[in-house]
Amino acid sequence: MIEPELLDRTRMRERFHAVRAATEALAAPLSAEDQQLQSMPACSPTKWHRAHTTWFWEAFVLEPRGVPPVHAGYGRLFNSYYEALGPRHPRPARGLLSRPTAAEVGVWREAVDARMDTLLATVDAPGLAALAPLLALGLAHEEQHQELLLTDILHAFAQSPLRPAYRGGGEGPTAVGAPLAWVPYAEGPAWVGAEGSGFAFDNEGPRHRVWLAPYALATRLVTVGEARAFVEEGGYDTPSLWLSDGLDFVRAQGIRAPGYVTAEAGGWEVFGLDGVREARDDEPVAHLSFYEADAIARFLGARLPTEAEWENAAACAVAAGAPGGGNLRDSGALRPLPADGVGVTQLFGDVWEWTASAYAPYPAYKPAAGAVGEYNGKFMVNQLVLRGGSCFTPPGHVRPSYRNFWHPETRFQVTGLRLARDLV
């Protein structure tokens, strides 16, 4: 099903323009030089994110309805990975695209927005209904790139000795974070996957039943203080805590602390969008690879949850009317905050939570036909599932069934962990 607002012409246009404006607002603090930065192949320049999300509307919505592109040559520059739509500029070389300029991308965005507005205003009712699912996908896609815009500029700024801030620092939290407790979940069947009551990506279905052994889930995320204990007690030098690939990875990379952390004797300094600050022991630890999250969980006498266990707990919380919300982008914090509340907290927000589950298709999964089918399915190999959203995630863009996925060595995303353990 599609959200009711995307079946109403006026609300559809308002939603489209709100999402497009949010992208520009996130880019607004950045200079043209900032927007050109590409710090590693896995990241993209801010300008590229702005351009790619504009190309998406042209390629998937306007051109199939007979509207020619504003600039015919831009497709090759800003197609990300859609083989069905033609050749692409190499991903590691996106930072070499000095033209079009950031200002020219802005002009292009305005032109495409105007064409989309005309289409949404004039298409007949059957055409509008047929367009709604594609519009929902395009808006979710742009919101994903809004989150990537923030993670990618953070990584780029972290490479500078000047440690520039994306914005001026705000006030930090004053309340003390909640202690760790455990919530048990009984053995039995559980539903996994999107229910069909709103937008979901194709990788969130089909909905199906799984059998869960009894388990317990921690009420909050693992904190900086707990990660510091791992570091200070020699966790990075204890082979018994590590998967073999993980130990090879941290040794080869010389990793001795989470990403963006400078470990000092009295505490940790962490670099974020507000610049350098002292990390609180009760805030969630962030920028961990899957390997580090797995080792820290083992150090703390627990394990990572499976994605089915996590989704079951999240669905239970939502059904009970206590959705365990955390800190998303709309809070304005743009940093993980200490747990606040009772019961299971921080399920949606603060940091993406690594699970022990490989990113694989659900039973009977079939990708959509055409180029849209390349969105998720072809990446279902060699990656791990993360759940829950982060402090960079847009509001309304998380739900119990949402499956994020990254390679296990990923650290530049806002990634952390929640503990699970077996119940005998």
Report the pLDDT value the prediction gives residue 6, as an integer from 0 to 100: 62
Q: What is the pLDDT of residues 114-144, one digit of tens each?
A: 999 999 999 999 999 999 999 999 999 999 9
Question: Has residue 308 been placed in a domain?
Answer: yes
pLDDT on residue 7: 67
d(CA 345, CA 322) in angstroms, rounded, equals 9
* Out of 99-113, 166-180, 195-209, 215-229, least confident range: 166-180
Tell me which DSSP letter residue 377 carries.
Answer: G
Quickly state the pLDDT bin for 364 (edges 50, 70, 90): very high
Report CA 296 to chain centroid distance, whole Å: 22
Q: Give which of 119, 311, 286 is closest to 200, Cα–Cα.
A: 311
Sorted by sequence, the CB contacts under 8 Å of residue 107 that are 6+ apart come out as none
Residue 172 pLDDT more than 80? no
**Does residue 105 sit in the same domain as residue 219?**
no
Mean pLDDT for 401-411 is 97
Question: How many domains, in total, are found in the chain?
Answer: 2
pLDDT band of residue 366 (cuts 50, 70, 90) is: very high
Q: Which residues pair with 216 in a beta bridge?
A: 184, 421
Q: Are residues 140 and 186 in the same domain?
A: no
pTM above 0.85, yes or no: yes
- Residues above pLDDT 70, as percent of the chain: 96
- Among 144, 114, 119, which Cα is nearest to 132's? 119
Minimal CA–CA distance to 44: which of 97, 96, 95, 108? 95
Domain boundaries, position 334 = 182-422
Residues 263 and 302 both lie in one domain = yes
- Angle between helix axes 290-299 and 224-232 (nearest 10 degrees) is 80
* Same domain as 242, residue 193: yes
Average pLDDT, the chain: 94
Quickly state the pLDDT bin for 271 (edges 50, 70, 90): very high
Q: Does 151 share its domain with 201?
A: no
Residues 28 and 84 in one domain: yes
Shared-domain flag, residues 341 and 398: yes
Does residue 177 fall inside a structural domain? no
Structural domain ending residue among the three candidates 158, 193, 224? 158
- pLDDT tens digits for range 315-346: 999 988 876 778 999 999 999 999 987 789 99
> Does 80 map to a domain?
yes
The answer on 204 and 144 residing in a single domain is no
